[in-house]
Chain A
Amino acid sequence: MKVLTARHAAGVLAVLALAVAASVIVGLAAGPSSLSVREVVSALLAPETQGAAADIVLRVRLPRVVLSLLVGASLAVAGVLFQALLRNPLADPFVLGVSGGAALGGIAVLSLGPAVGLSHAAVAPAAFAGALATTLLLGLVSGSRASPTSLLLTGVVFNAFASAGIVFLASFAGLNEGAGVFLWLIGSLSNVRADVTGWVALFLFAGLACALPLARNLNLMTLGEETAQQLGVDVVRVQRVLLVAASLMVGAAVSVAGLVGFVGLIIPHLLRLLIGPDHRLLVPSAALAGGAFLLLCDTAARSLLGGRELPVGALTSLAGGPVFLWLLRRHQQRIFAP
């Protein structure tokens, strides 16, 4: 492993921060309606102005830009953590079924909640609970020394179970909820509510606050749990803290955006190729790059078809599927070796 210098780290983070800034500009400037750059800028500079341009820039595009940054960052950081904790290059909240568990929890409340007096506000907590329960289940079923294969299999099976549960619940719900359920399954950022944005931000920053101080321990844990233990890492504690943190980040992201696939897979791997595997740099980089990636995907999703919307999850999964297969092929020997 290359030695990480503060200068190198600062350089990488600065470049990624510039990428985030550039994608924010693209996200604010692009959209189905043809606003000029001047209109966009004047809406941003004078937020109290009235008019369609102000509504579009400040009350349609800006909340989505912020939310896609937060959701993308949460998913990418969770991906880094799952890959490190499970020592599995193919781990990703989506592949492992954690997103599916969150969606199942959220949709259970969406479809059955009204009957038992639960309001829309209960969707997010239910998604957290679903994500956390899935992580615990993954740990229980595969044990602490699970082979990568058995973890992936558990994820595949749980995903199938969650999808079936979601479709089962959706059958109870009326037609209107049906379209909403479909968007949850594919992942979309079209519904932005200011209150949920705050929750996603809270869990992202809490997750980062847990992960950053433990990043050095994560580096050691990639050498193997026993080695890490011998080097003085409290492996069980690090695992517990970070699995819970990752689950909460995924739960928050899924509760607002649904099953946005593969962000937690593509971004960490691209970054490992570009900047190396040191988690002290990888974790913050994943937050920046994941946010920028999802923001650009979402901008494309809401701009490509004119006034029509494309769910952003369709784009990320279209991009992520081939990347996953490529990774699987690259790592095949290692994964299926005895």
Chain B
Amino acid sequence: MPLRSLAAVLLLALAALPAASEVPARRVVSLNPSLTATLVALGAGAQLVGVDDYSARQQSAVRELPAVGGLFNPSLEAILGLAPDLVVLVPSAQQRDLRARLEALGVEVLELPNITLAELLASIQALGARVGREAAARERVREIQSAWRAVGAASAARPRVRAVLVLQRDPLYVVGRGSFIDSMLATAGAENPANVFAEPYPRVSLEWLIAAAPELILDASEDPEEPRDYWARWPSLPAVATGSVHRIPASQVTLPGPFPERALALLAEAIHPAPARSDP
């Protein structure tokens, strides 16, 4: 089977090449859960023919699809076996070689970074354009932007809250500067002291975090220990003193996806709780 289907893939790919960007892709393999979720949200789920292991595990819509390997070790052979006309992925050192090899075999690859908010919006639009869902993508981006404006306007009048978003406790990773999460924090009324670090998700020392004296700790780690109990080890933290330590569901906030405005609403509520629920 391999030789004949490989030849078929090559022929298909060669035939598709000249018109690659005009004809909507019909057989898409997604190698990143956020791109998978975006494709499903845009109504292009039926065009997906394969996903990475993480997408398959996380998202019920694609659970039945063939999985082609993890984020770091996708199988070239499994991808080719699905005869895709488009492979979408997020740039990473691990997937750079994969992209080169897929392109050498004539498979179109769309590489969509999703660190910043602008990149996230651009990836929604680029995916929409490539799978024939331009209108849905435009609509999605418009809704995200209007949610950003609304939350930004609501928080503008409130005092800024010094907040740190912890991605992982040990080793300690926080949200630094430039990511879409950093943008959500700023829009929702937080001042992120970790934006002194140029990286989007820096590994920081505990000592830095204590010296930064956050008034609010948003803990998105998956550690079973209750965030309140864990951070209470360092009672000088203003967030501990005032009880402003909250667990944030990582899957809903820290993974880039098609609905960042839901995460934004969650963060806005944590930063400035609605009056009815703010009693101590």
Residues of chain A touching chain B, judged by Cβ–Cβ distance below 8 Å, are 31-33, 50-56, 59-61, 171, 175-176, 179-180, 183, 188, 190-191, 302, 306-309
CA distance A190 to B205 in the complex (A): 8
Q: Which residue of B lies closest to A120 (CB)?
A: B224
Q: Known contacts A33-B211, A190-B172, A308-B205; can you find 13 more A-B pairs with CB under 8 A?
A: A31-B207, A50-B236, A52-B236, A53-B236, A55-B237, A59-B233, A60-B206, A60-B210, A179-B168, A307-B197, A307-B202, A308-B203, A309-B172
Q: Are the C-beta atoms of B73 and A32 separated by less than 8 Å?
A: no
- CB contacts (< 8 Å) of B213 on chain A: these are 52
Q: Which residue of A lies closest to B167 (CB)?
A: A176
Q: Does B30 contact A (CB under 8 A)?
A: no
Residues of chain B touching chain A, judged by Cβ–Cβ distance below 8 Å, are 70-71, 73, 168, 170-173, 196-197, 202-208, 210-211, 213, 221-222, 233-237
Q: Are the C-beta atoms of A190 and B170 separated by less than 8 Å?
A: yes
CA distance A199 to B198 in the complex (A): 39
- CB contacts (< 8 Å) of B207 on chain A: these are 31-33, 56, 60-61, 302, 307
- CB contacts (< 8 Å) of A190 on chain B: these are 170-172, 205-206
Main secondary structure of the interface of B (DSSP, over half): loop
- CB contacts (< 8 Å) of A50 on chain B: these are 235-236
A188 and B171 in contact (CB under 8 A), knowing A52-B236, A307-B197, A308-B197? yes
- CB contacts (< 8 Å) of A306 on chain B: these are 208
User: B192 → chain A, closest Cβ, in Å?
Assistant: 13
- CB contacts (< 8 Å) of B168 on chain A: these are 176, 179
- CB contacts (< 8 Å) of A302 on chain B: these are 205, 207
User: B254 → chain A, closest Cβ, in Å?
Assistant: 11
- CB contacts (< 8 Å) of B211 on chain A: these are 32-33, 52, 56
- CB contacts (< 8 Å) of A308 on chain B: these are 197, 202-205, 208
A309 and B170 in contact (CB under 8 A), knowing A55-B235, A59-B234, A176-B221? no
A60 and B234 in contact (CB under 8 A), knowing A32-B208, A308-B202, A309-B204? yes
Main secondary structure of the interface of A (DSSP, over half): helix
Q: Are the C-beta atoms of A307 and B73 separated by less than 8 Å?
A: no
CA distance A55 to B209 in the complex (A): 11
A51 and B171 in contact (CB under 8 A), knowing A33-B207, A171-B73, A190-B205? no
CA distance A84 to B199 in the complex (A): 47
21 interchain pairs, CB-CB under 8 A: A31-B207, A32-B205, A33-B208, A50-B235, A53-B236, A55-B234, A55-B235, A55-B236, A59-B234, A60-B234, A175-B71, A176-B222, A180-B170, A188-B171, A190-B171, A191-B170, A307-B196, A307-B208, A308-B208, A309-B203, A309-B204
Q: Are the C-beta atoms of B205 and A54 separated by less than 8 Å?
A: no
CA distance A289 to B80 in the complex (A): 58
User: A127 → chain B, closest Cβ, in Å?
Assistant: 16
- CB contacts (< 8 Å) of A188 on chain B: these are 171
- CB contacts (< 8 Å) of A183 on chain B: these are 171
- CB contacts (< 8 Å) of B170 on chain A: these are 180, 190-191
CA distance A183 to B210 in the complex (A): 22
- CB contacts (< 8 Å) of A176 on chain B: these are 168, 221-222
Shortest 7 CB-CB contacts between residues of A and residues of B: A307-B208, A33-B211, A55-B236, A191-B170, A55-B234, A52-B236, A309-B205
Q: Are the C-beta atoms of B173 and A179 separated by less than 8 Å?
A: yes
User: A161 → chain B, closest Cβ, in Å?
Assistant: 20
CA distance A318 to B150 in the complex (A): 52
Q: Are the C-beta atoms of A51 and B236 separated by less than 8 Å?
A: yes
Q: Are the C-beta atoms of B171 and A309 separated by less than 8 Å?
A: yes
CA distance A318 to B70 in the complex (A): 32
Contact of A180 among B71, B171, B197, B202 (CB under 8 A): B171
User: B225 → chain A, closest Cβ, in Å?
Assistant: 9
CA distance A143 to B196 in the complex (A): 57
- CB contacts (< 8 Å) of B236 on chain A: these are 50-55
CA distance A54 to B203 in the complex (A): 23
Q: Are the C-beta atoms of B205 and A55 separated by less than 8 Å?
A: no
CA distance A120 to B168 in the complex (A): 16
User: A251 → chain B, closest Cβ, in Å?
Assistant: 20
User: B194 → chain A, closest Cβ, in Å?
Assistant: 8
- CB contacts (< 8 Å) of A32 on chain B: these are 205, 207-208, 211
CA distance A59 to B235 in the complex (A): 10
- CB contacts (< 8 Å) of B221 on chain A: these are 176
CA distance A6 to B132 in the complex (A): 86
Q: Which residue of A lies closest to B208 (CB)?
A: A307
Q: Are the C-beta atoms of B70 and A171 separated by less than 8 Å?
A: yes
User: B272 → chain A, closest Cβ, in Å?
Assistant: 25
CA distance A307 to B233 in the complex (A): 20
Q: Which residue of A lies closest to B70 (CB)?
A: A171
CA distance A166 to B196 in the complex (A): 35
Q: Which residue of B lies closest to A179 (CB)?
A: B171
User: A188 → chain B, closest Cβ, in Å?
Assistant: 7
User: A72 → chain B, closest Cβ, in Å?
Assistant: 19
Q: Which residue of B lies closest to A193 (CB)?
A: B170
- CB contacts (< 8 Å) of B205 on chain A: these are 31-32, 190, 302, 307-309
Most buried by A among B168, B196, B208, B222: B208
User: A110 → chain B, closest Cβ, in Å?
Assistant: 12
Q: Which residue of B lies closest to A192 (CB)?
A: B206
Q: Are the C-beta atoms of A307 and B210 separated by less than 8 Å?
A: no
User: A124 → chain B, closest Cβ, in Å?
Assistant: 15
CA distance A248 to B154 in the complex (A): 59
CA distance A183 to B172 in the complex (A): 11
- CB contacts (< 8 Å) of A59 on chain B: these are 233-234
